[in-house]
Structure 1
Amino acid sequence: MSNAKNELLERAHTLGSDPRNTNFAGGNASAKGTENDPVTGQDVELLWVKGSGGDLGTLTAGGLAVLRLDRFRALTGVYPGEEREDEMVAAFDFCLHGKGGAAPSIDTAMHALVESAHVDHLHPDSGIAIATAADGPELTARIFGDRVVWVPWRRPGFQLGLDISAIKAANPQAIGCILGGHGITAWGETSAECQANSLEIIRTAEQYIADHGRPDPFGPVVHEPLPEETRHRRAAELFPAIRGLASTDARQVGHYTDSPEVLDFLARAEHPRLAALGTSCPDHFLRTKVAPLVLDLPPDAPLADVLTRLGELHTQYRADYAAYYQRHAAPDSPAMRGADPAIVLVPGVGMFSFGKDKQTARVAGEFYVNAINVMRGAEALSSYRPIEESEKFRIEYWELEEAKLRRLPAPKPLAGRVALVTGGGSGIGAATARRLAAEGACVVLADRDLAAADKVAAELGGSAYRPQDVAIAVRVDVTSEEQITDAVRQAVLAFGGVDLVVNNAGLSLSRSLLETTLDDWNLQHDVMARGSFLVSREAARVLLSQGMGGDLVYISSKNAVFAGPNNVAYGAAKADQAHQVRLLAAELGPHGIRVNGVNPDGVVRGSGIFASGWGANRAAVYGVEEERLGEFYAQRTLLKQEVLPEHVAAAVFALTGGDLSLTTGLHIPVDAGVAAAFLR
């Protein structure tokens, strides 16, 4: 790897790891250098620049676009002008060097055409505050003198690259520029110099705002935030309903934020006016939409009134968004992508953000916090003035943005769905959680053994930037109504709601009728019959509030229909679960909630039940060695195959993945064929 490329990656990680410098996946950095061309054997001048969609803080060599500078600079001779700007991005591909590499972003021209070895383009809150201030040009001169130059707003692209190149050439003393309405760009002849110049602009702007800004730019406090416990309880009550509204066009996952910045903004008098102005930086509003939905009731308003008002505001928001689209759409504009809000602000409670997955929802919320910081800085020094609505539309419905969306892989079958799996720390529960996560779901692993559930959740998170975006673990004993309520509340606060519940928690004590105590009977019924009822009831409250249908799946057993020896309590509890499936399917079907069951048998390997003594007892009943119990079960089946936890997980996915969308009240046997347990 060339030294220039190494220096670029190191600088990108340093700048991108600090949210004061730029937002997640926002901005880009570049380096110029020479490498040998394997075709000609001659050195060739190259540009390495962060590719489209990458993140500076986690950038790898594979995330860089690599282009030949001679070919790119030659594009200035064929540039057809701003009216045909979009054609230039396709031309970037003809400047690429070597195999692989990321797709060049729209900002590539800025990096290639500016005559410096290293260039940074960043979205710091302090820089955007200056960029969105009504008197941004004057502030720039006052704060930086001639070291930083003001560049009027221009949509990112080839012309902006030409503009900045010309400004740098005309201002050799300058270390960078403020891009009106957008962000900052800095340059340097070494990577260290470029980084130092970027940080000088950012920190100087921060210090100037701190030293000269008004102390209360958002006005006086009109409503104090609710106390934390009350706030979180209200958030959990509202979140499923808000998620249902935000999923009118497409199912969304949610993220809840009650950071001090958000609560303070929503507590003050000016937040309705500022929120209505919308965000400015293109990276912000592409993820937050042009403006949020803002509740206009006080924090202590009755819950029923809040829910009613949110429904009314959502209807108005959709109408306003459609009108915004109609005002600016041209005959060749992409179709409207959806009219639901990405950000919902509730004074006293916090912010609810939404996206196609948890990371997208979380990042949208982070970007709106950036926007709040920008508004605070701009209002502290001047007044906040974002770019014009028509310019926002040009970027939101840019053909280049549409092309980026088309490049995204097709969503997985369970994308946008939130699954809650009880007994998720081992055996069938862990296997089911793995399968659901692999198919795109966010997963909440509920288990009495929190350490075991945490281990599985960490495995599911894998190498994700934030593993909690994929899975979380919660401790719950399903015999406790309070713990179940708390577990579902945690799921709601983590992901916005619940769509798919797997009632899997269970245990078994293998004893004859005369050896079965009342405690044995009660324990097994408390865990499986009563526990499943409590989980389903609490989850149903969320499912009904969301109004998006959903799935309840019971992991029952062959023993629900087959009368075997020495398991009267277990078999009776499983039969109770099996009939709950039928009863709830009948009751919840009109709401689009499907209830089905899976009847496994002989799942020995990895099973917590078998490992806790059930296996030894069943082996004794059948007269086989415990370690050969799985083989014994397999040989008594029609298929002569051992049933594994993954087979049960596959059945859960079959019931919930979409192909059986009109199936409810069904029990699927996963027992390799036990004729005595055939459903009749």
Structure 2
Amino acid sequence: MENKTKTFNYVDYLWDEEKALSFGDNQVDLFLYRSNILGADLRITNYGGGNTSCRTIEKDPLTNEEVEVMWIKGSGGDIGTLNRSGIAGIYTNRLRDLKNVYGGLEDEDRMVGLFNHCIFDLDSKAPSIDTPLHGLLPFAHIDHLHPDALIAVAAAKDSEKVTKEIWGDTMGWVPWQRPGFDLGLQIEKCLEDNPGIRGIVLGSHGLFTWGDTSYECYINSLEVIEMASEFIEKKIKEKGSVFGGQKIESLPKEERLEKAAQIMPLLRGLCSSENRMIGHFSDTDVVMEYINSNDLERLAPMGTSCPDHFLRTKIQPLVLTLDKNEDLSDADAILKKLEPAFAAYRQEYLDYYNTCKKENSPAVRDANPVIIIYPGVGMFSFAKNKQTTRVANEFYINAINVMRGAEAITSYTSLPRQEAFDIEYWLLEEAKLQRMPKEQPLSRKVALVTGAGGGIGKAIADKLAAEGANVVLTDINEESLVKANATYKRDVSTYAICDVTNTDSIASAYKKACIEFGGVDIIVHSAGLAISKALEDTTDKDWNILQSILVKGQFDLAKQATAIMRKQGLGGDYIAIASKNGLVAGPNNVAYGTAKAAQQHMVRLLAAELGKDKIRVNTVNPDGVIVGSKIWEGAWAEGRAKANGITVEELPAFYAKRNLLNEIITPDDIANGVFSLVGILDKSTGNIINVDGGMANAFVR
């Protein structure tokens, strides 16, 4: 058996022969496996970038004849997570027959519709624009990738000459052309003119490689990328520096994070002038080397080269002129400095649109920047959700690597603005955007929930996340936070240890929210405890801890949240999880009931004060949430059972029987109450919603 252990310095060799053998001779499974391990290395291709395929012989269901079928990543997929449902099965011969009806460059969009006539597998994903690029080549396995090193070659001045210098006659080269049927024809002709080549470099675009087996294709791709990477690193060593050397020094790591947390709500507000955005921050070594360099001022306005890059990052970033040591504590003063920069960026984008648009171009899109650079501090990105903004950030890092390599080889070249526009405002791209699913009610919003390590707080966080929000889980117990956070998919949540009795601890939680997501829109104060004692048994300690957690904690959370929300200028929601006990007098409840009443009245006071800022403040009053609530563990349950003359075991039935609807109240019911206030009742403030099954003595009068 061939020894399939390889060593590479610039890419990750991830082929597991034992796993590959488990697929037997199933070429589709092997192609999916290859795709996934290629997509696991961001130096090879980023999320959603590139395309992979394989060929098999299948029995035609109509003729029983054996036919060749190409299996290829479908439109909008990601090779790193690709599975059977994300691919298209295409009759190869029918796809090639489309050459007979192709009418030239003006016919490109019609050809995409004709791909559907070539489908073999009726469960296919919609074929992508790259389908003919694969289908007109004869190979069993094909990779179309966007490796940083290859795009650096493709985007370098004299790219064709550089390609020859690196690979000699073993690689073909095709000049830039927008993806489509004609580019497939150009690739086909390149192979015909250069038989025996191992791959093709696409100018300003990427790489095509192939092999007779999935493994041979994988190794070919890695070897070609490795050769380009070695060439670039040699050039960098010869040159002695990249990006013209360092212009400014980075702030220390903790100072960068502090600056990022301070400025992100301001940036988020400015980026959200048309649509609310979610943020992401990066200050890796790669980012800092570029944004602190002498060449930043020259390279950043040139824009990115690869279509996959600028479709996600916009054609160029906004570079802030703020000094790295700028005092950011005066938000109004900083905003006055930022507003002109954003206005200029938006105007430049509108000028780009108006200069390049055609009669049938889609309407101009959001003119705000996606990538924002703060030299000495880091790089920010803002988009419709966390995954999109993180991926945009990653793509711009890919673009940085491309510029780094191209500048080392010769010099970096970007696409002409008209070419970039024709990609960005392509009718097919617009159609893809229109097919995106409708956003959820809380999409684009960030919620911070206290007491979210379990019980009612976790149920609230679950509900808000299910309705589209990013959630910041806070609690005093890190172990419970880690477990709770692990229940969400990537890009949905983060957590912060937070003691709501400590002002600095609250500030740290908000700092985490700002760095991770750009700010905060919804605060739910669910953290608490309950103490049930008669007056004579209630100690100063009992009184103080309830006031500190429930009342002072609410005050501190609201005060700090308001400062962030005012920076954003987007309004917001504050929800206090209080209790029926704040409205109803009962035995053995003086400390807890007083604290809950204080929470409720503070809500009314805050609602009256913050309405001008579009910050809505409301209360949800649970009652009798015994099953699943942390408060009902231990002494509180014993105290309530004693006060009502029953056993602890009888509590759930007792509380269900005493409400008008005879219903047991669960944490999910409280979560639904919260959602109604933040996701539906958007013109409600200063209100109380009782979620108690109906308690007549707690009716709000």
TM-score (norm 1): 0.97
2:495 paired with 1:473: yes
Taking the aligned partners of 2:173 and 2:32, their CA distance within structure 1 comes to 28
2:357 pairs, out of 317, 324, 329, with: 329
Report the counterpart of residue 464 of structure 1 in structure 2.
Answer: none
- Structure 2 contact 43–398 (Cα < 8 Å) conserved: no
CA distance in 2: counterparts of 1:166 and 1:534, whole angstroms: 68
Q: CA deviation at 1:39?
A: 3.1
What CA deviation, in whole Å up to 9, does each residue of 1:60-85 have, x standing for no partner? 11111111112111111111111121
- Please say if residues 600 and 648 of structure 1, whose CA atoms lie closer than 8 Å, have aligned partners that are also in contact: yes
Partner-residue secondary structure (3-state), 1:32: strand
How far off is 1:161 after superposition? 0.5
Q: Which residue of structure 2 lines up, in the alignment, with residue 247 of structure 1?
A: 272
Once the two structures are TM-superposed, the CA of residue 458 in structure 1 deviates from its matched residue by 1.2
Query: In the alignment, is residue 504 of structure 1 matched against residue 532 of structure 2?
Result: no
Tell me if the contact between 2:155 and 2:205 (Cα under 8 Å) persists in the aligned partners. yes
Q: Deviations over 1:142-177 (max 9, x none)?
A: 111111122100000100001001111111121111
**Alpha-carbon distance in structure 1 between the residues aligned to 2:240 and 2:269:** 38
Tell me if structure 1 keeps the 8 A contact 2:88–2:121: no
Q: How far apart in 2 are the matches of 1:35 and 1:3?
A: 12
Q: In structure 2, how many angstroms separate the alpha carbons of the residues matched to 1:142 and 1:612?
A: 75
Alignment check: 8 A CA contact 2:173 2:190 kept: no
How many Å separate the matches in 1 of 2:447 and 2:127?
A: 37
Q: Distance in 2 between matches of 1:460 and 1:12?
A: 25
Conserved in 1, the CA contact under 8 Å of 2:656 and 2:662?
Answer: yes
Out of 198, 216, 223, the residue aligned to residue 241 of structure 2 is 216
Aligned-partner Cα distance in 2 for 1:600–1:6: 52
Q: Which residue of 2 aligns with 1:514?
A: 536
Distance 2:161 2:370 in 1: 34
How far residue 52 of structure 1 moved from its aligned partner, in angstroms, is: 1.3
**Distance in 2 between residues matched to 1:190 and 1:312, nearest whole Å:** 56
Match of 1:295 in 2: 320
CA deviations 1:113-148 (Å, max 9, x no partner) are: 112121111000000001111111111111111111
Equivalent residues of 1:223, 1:299 under 8 A apart: no
2:686 aligned residue: 665
| Aligned-partner SS, 2:633 | helix
Partner deviation per Cα, 1:577-635 (whole Å, 9 max, x = no partner): 10111111111111111111111111111111111321111011111221221211111
CA contact (8 A) 1:276 1:291 kept: yes
Aligned-pair distance for 1:188?
2.1
1:201 matched residue in structure 2 = 224
Identity %: 49
Counterpart CA distance in 1 for 2:54 and 2:337 is 52
Select which of 366, 384, 387 maps to 1:356: 384
For 2:322, the aligned partner's letter is: L
Q: 1:641 aligns with which of 645, 663, 668?
A: 663
Judge conservation of contact 1:510–1:618 (CA < 8 Å) in 2. Answer: yes
Amino acid at match of 1:31: C
- Asked if 2 retains the 8 angstrom alpha-carbon contact of 1:238 and 1:307, the reply is no
Please give the secondary structure, in 2, of the residue aligned with 1:331: coil
Tell me how far apart the structure 1 counterparts of residues 33 and 660 of structure 2 sit (CA, whole Å). 61
The AA in structure 2 aligned to 1:382 is T
Match of 2:644 in 1: 622
Distance (Å, rounded) in 2 between the aligned partners of 1:427 and 1:534: 23
**3-state SS of 1:45 partner:** strand
Q: Would you say 1:178 and 2:198 are equivalent positions?
A: no
The aligned residue for residue 376 of structure 1 is: 404
1:402 is paired with a residue of what secondary structure? Answer: helix
Residue 44 of structure 1 corresponds to which residue in structure 2?
67
- Which of these residues, 151, 159, 182, is aligned with residue 182 of structure 2? 159
Does structure 1 conserve the Cα–Cα contact (< 8 Å) formed by 2:251 and 2:324?
Answer: yes
What letter corresponds to residue 204 of structure 2 in structure 1? G
> Which residue among 440, 446, 460 is the counterpart of 2:474?
446
Tell me which residue corresponds to 2:79: 56
- What does residue 15 of structure 1 align with? 38
2:287 maps to: 262
Q: Which amino acid aligns with 2:478?
A: L
Could you list the per-position Cα deviations for residues 485-529 of structure 1 after superposition, in whole angstroms to 9, with x for gaps in the alignment? 101101111111100000111101100111101110000010000
How far 1:187 moved relative to its partner? 1.9
Query: Structure 2: how far apart are the matches of 1:612 and 1:356?
Result: 44
Give the superposition deviation at 1:306: 4.5
Partners in 2 of 1:508 and 1:656 — Cα distance? 26
Q: For the Cα contact (< 8 Å) 1:48–1:65, is it kept in 2?
A: yes
SS of 2:287's partner is helix
1:587 maps to 609
Once residues 491 and 209 of structure 1 are traced to their aligned partners in structure 2, the CA distance between those partners, rounded to angstroms, is 39
Say what the alpha-carbon RMSD is for the aligned residues. 1.2
* 1:101 to 2:124 alignment: yes
Contact 2:96 2:135 in 1 (8 A): yes
CA contact (8 A) 1:223 1:298 kept: no
Output the TM-score relative to the length of structure 2.
0.94
> Structure 1 regions of 5+ residues with no counterpart?
462-466
Residue in 2 aligned with 1:237?
262
State whether residues 240 and 546 of structure 1, in contact with CA within 8 Å, keep that contact through their aligned partners in structure 2. yes
Which of 358, 374, 392 aligns to 1:346? It is 374
How far is 1:259 from its partner?
A: 0.4
Contact 1:215/1:380 (8 A) holds in 2: no
Specify the code of the residue in structure 2 equivalent to 1:660: L
Q: Deviations over 1:402-423 (max 9, x none)?
A: 1111221100000010000000
Q: Is the 8 A contact 2:345 2:369 kept in 1?
A: yes
Give the Cα–Cα distance (whole angstroms) in 1 for the partners of residues 443 and 130 of structure 2.
30
Find the aligned partners of 2:504 and 2:186 in 1 and give their Cα distance: 62
Q: Are 1:413 and 2:441 counterparts? A: yes
Measure, in 1, the Cα distance between the counterparts of 2:619 and 2:188: 65
The question of whether the paired residues in 2 share the 8 Å contact of 1:454 and 1:472 is answered with no
Q: 1:366 aligns with which of 388, 394, 397?
A: 394
Distance in structure 1 (CA, Å) of the matches to 2:324 and 2:653: 61
1:187 corresponds to 2:210? yes
Q: Which residue of 1 aligns with 2:3?
A: none
Runs of at least 5 residues in structure 2 that lack an aligned partner in the other structure: 1-22
**Do 1:328 and 1:393's aligned partners in 2 also have CA atoms closer than 8 Å?**
yes
Aligned twin of 1:73:
96
Q: Could you say which residue in structure 2 is the equivalent of 1:389?
A: 417
Give the equivalent residue in structure 2 for 1:632.
654
| Shift, 1:377, TM fit | 0.5
Q: How far apart are residue 318 of structure 1 and its match?
A: 0.7
